[in-house]
């Protein structure tokens, strides 16, 4: 790569990163307002050529990553460094800085889209392959990003010192996050499987419990 090619690559990278300031809030707002539309959009965009995908929003995995980065930045500003960075027992010993902590959190929250996608394929009796899993996983990354952000805000509120109302507010925020995410998954399964909303609720409940169990088991490894 010559110097001019390097400068061109640097230009493209800088432009891509700076546009996140515009397209992240756009993606977040559209996901909050129209989660099912965004989930369908995530699926359909994978049919386009890679350079033409997601022209007006962030790609789903990138949205999830930037959401966790935003949540982590808020955490640093309000409560300081996470104890996991200083902890050296178990898998926590692998977390030596904010970058590794962010990657671990990305892995944790990617569990929810993954298990939701696998659950739908299983109930459709479709073969589990990379190609069949990817559209469903991408679709689930959008609501998972919102879910992770609200959970992060709620968790931070419970850690705020001083007024106990912060803790109460945090618990309500956590509850609201699970209710929103669970309701969305209930309707998603009902639509995708063409079943009643009640059956969709049952499938969503079981799948969320499975996701939460995997999440807790991973968290236990860091303890």
**Is 222 strand, coil or helix?**
coil
pLDDT at position 8 is 65
pLDDT at position 81 is 62
Dihedral in degrees, nearest 10, Cα atoms 212, 218, 219, 220: 110
What is d(CA 69, CA 72) in angstroms, rounded to the nearest whole number? 5
Dihedral in degrees, nearest 10, Cα atoms 164, 166, 171, 177: 180
And the tokens for 212?
Answer: 């939460």
What is d(CA 67, CA 79) in angstroms, rounded to the nearest whole number? 18
**Is 150 strand, coil or helix?**
helix
pLDDT at position 148 is 94
pLDDT at position 50 is 82
pLDDT at position 182 is 94
What is d(CA 46, CA 57) in angstroms, rounded to the nearest whole number? 13
What is d(CA 63, CA 22) in angstroms, rounded to the nearest whole number? 12
What is d(CA 148, CA 185) in angstroms, rounded to the nearest whole number? 15
Cβ atoms < 10 Å from Cβ of 219: 13
Return averaged pLDDT per consecutive 10 residues of the chain, 223 residues in all.
65 85 95 95 87 91 93 78 55 59 83 94 93 94 95 88 83 94 96 94 94 81 61
pLDDT at position 114 is 95
What is d(CA 178, CA 110) in angstroms, rounded to the nearest whole number? 16
And the tokens for 140?
Answer: 């689930």
In contact, 40 and 135? CB cutoff 8 Å: no
């Amino acid at each position: 790569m010559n110097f001019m090619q390097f400068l061109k690559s640097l230009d493209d990278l800088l432009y891509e990163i700076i546009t996140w300031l515009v397209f992240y809030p756009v993606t977040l707002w559209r996901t909050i307002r129209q989660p099912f539309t965004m989930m369908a959009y995530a699926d359909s965009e994978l049919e386009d050529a890679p350079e033409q995908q997601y022209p007006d929003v962030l790609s789903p995995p990138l949205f999830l990553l930037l959401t966790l980065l935003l949540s982590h930045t808020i955490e640093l500003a309000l409560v300081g460094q996470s104890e996991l960075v200083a902890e050296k027992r178990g898998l926590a010993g692998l977390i030596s800085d904010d970058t590794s902590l962010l990657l671990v959190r990305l892995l944790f929250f990617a569990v929810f889209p993954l298990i939701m996608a696998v659950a739908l394929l299983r109930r459709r009796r479709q073969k589990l392959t990379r190609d069949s899993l990817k559209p469903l996983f991408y679709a689930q990354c959008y609501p998972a990003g919102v879910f992770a952000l609200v959970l992060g805000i709620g968790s931070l509120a419970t850690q705020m010192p001083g007024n106990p109302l912060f803790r109460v507010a945090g618990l309500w925020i956590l509850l609201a996050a699970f209710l929103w995410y669970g309701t969305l998954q209930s309707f998603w399964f009902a639509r995708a499987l063409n079943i009643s909303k009640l059956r969709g609720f049952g499938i969503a409940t079981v799948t969320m419990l499975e996701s939460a169990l995997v999440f807790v088991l991973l968290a236990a490894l860091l303890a």
